[in-house]
Structure 1
Amino acid sequence: MKHVKKTSRTRVLTGGAVVAALALGGFGAYSASATGENTAAAPAAVVAAKADAKNKNTTRTTHLTVEAATKAAQATLDAAEKENQRVSVAVVDRNGNTIVTLRGDGAGPQSYESAVKKAFTAVSWNAPTSELAKRLAQAPNLKDIPGTLFLAGGAPVTAKGAPIAGIGVAGAPSGDLDEKFAQAGVASLGK
């Protein structure tokens, strides 16, 4: 095999030709892609949307809006303030993620975390936490589930019978009062 000595000029010209070829090839692919997107993408998106609507492997869930969660939290806090109670309020979504919290003037430092846990507990079991606290006699290990608090003061928010949020209240002198205020928040969503 015969070796040909390449000069630096030959290398530069060869390299430049390769870069130009790649650039033109990329431009051609981009142009073809852009043209294809403009003409075929819309029908493909419609077909994909129809397929998703009929997909038996997915579900749809209902969630409170931030506006609705804030309205419920404020109604809860207002109900407590009417009775001169200093509480914290938490509203969580179906997955237990906090949507909004309000800490009333003078609420104790422990009330914030307790309100979140009560809301989480209520939505997790779709039941008021006062009812769940009664279940501890038959299943004492329930209290060991992380993030839960089995004290009265949490109320689930439902839509079509399914839990979509939880409202938790803490800070009043009794769990019964906390739960009464949480129920006022739930009731405000029906108005």
Structure 2
Amino acid sequence: MTTPDQSNSTRKRLIIGGAAAAVVAAGVIGVVSVNAQDPDPGSKTPVVADVANGNLQQSTHLTIAAATKAAQAALDAAVKENQHVTVAVVDRDGNTIVTLRGDGAGPQSYSSAQEKAFTAVSWNAPTSQLAKRLDGAPHLADIKGTLFLAGGAPVAAKGGAPIAGIGVAGAPSGDQDERFAQAGVAALGN
């Protein structure tokens, strides 16, 4: 014999189970109906942007080979001076292309090199110059992913537009870091 509490418990389970089944069924039907509306999305003609109307913009990016060459040149310059650094090269959008962590480089140098490279390319200026701007605009340092310490150098295309940034971190002074970053820029012929 079942008690009223057991009967209510069974009803609740049946109601909850039925509701859950209805939700799942509705989702399946929705997916099927969406797929039925467009059975072959690949058969559509692609939309072509009208280049004559100025809808497209080209940007220049370093190849991985060029970024690696620059990073290696910066690291080699540091090794010649017996410095243990990390070198990062980022593209125009601040995305890391390559990072080389030298033997004995400190753990903080990895992210610092990337942030210096990002800062240099973002403002198209060496980070030593940008650090001086903090006196007049201290809130610049609050921008996520930036580091206003010497050691970052921009890479510019012909015409001066920034295309990459090289950041070096780990030497005892930012001046040394920046000199090594400039060696990476020089390796690219800038």
TM-score range, shorter chain: 0.7 to 0.9
SS of the equivalent of 1:58 reads coil
Counterpart residue number, 1:82: 80
Deviations 1:92-143 (A, max 9, x none): 0000000000000000000000000000000000000000000000000000
Which of 1 and 2 has greater Rg? 1
Counterpart residue number, 2:131: 133
Q: Quick one: which amino acid aligns to residue 123 of structure 1? A: V
Distance 1:52 1:73 in 2: 38
Distance 2:53 2:103 in 1: 49
Distance 1:175 1:152 in 2: 4
Distance 2:121 2:129 in 1: 13
Q: Quick one: which amino acid aligns to residue 118 of structure 1? A: K
Matches within 5 A, 1:1-191: 52-159=50-157, 160-190=159-189
- Compute the displacement of 1:72 (Å): 0.2
Distance 2:52 2:160 in 1: 23
Same amino acid, percent of matched pairs: 77
* Runs of 4 or more above 2 Å deviation: 51-55
Instruction: Calculate the aligned-residue CA RMSD, in Å.
Output: 2.0
SS of the equivalent of 1:86 reads coil
Counterpart residue number, 2:29: none
Q: Quick one: which amino acid aligns to residue 181 of structure 1? A: F
SS of the equivalent of 2:167 reads strand
Counterpart residue number, 1:26: none
Structure 1 residue runs without a partner (length 5+): 1-29, 34-40
- Compute the displacement of 1:82 (Å): 0.4
Structure 2 residue runs without a partner (length 5+): 1-39
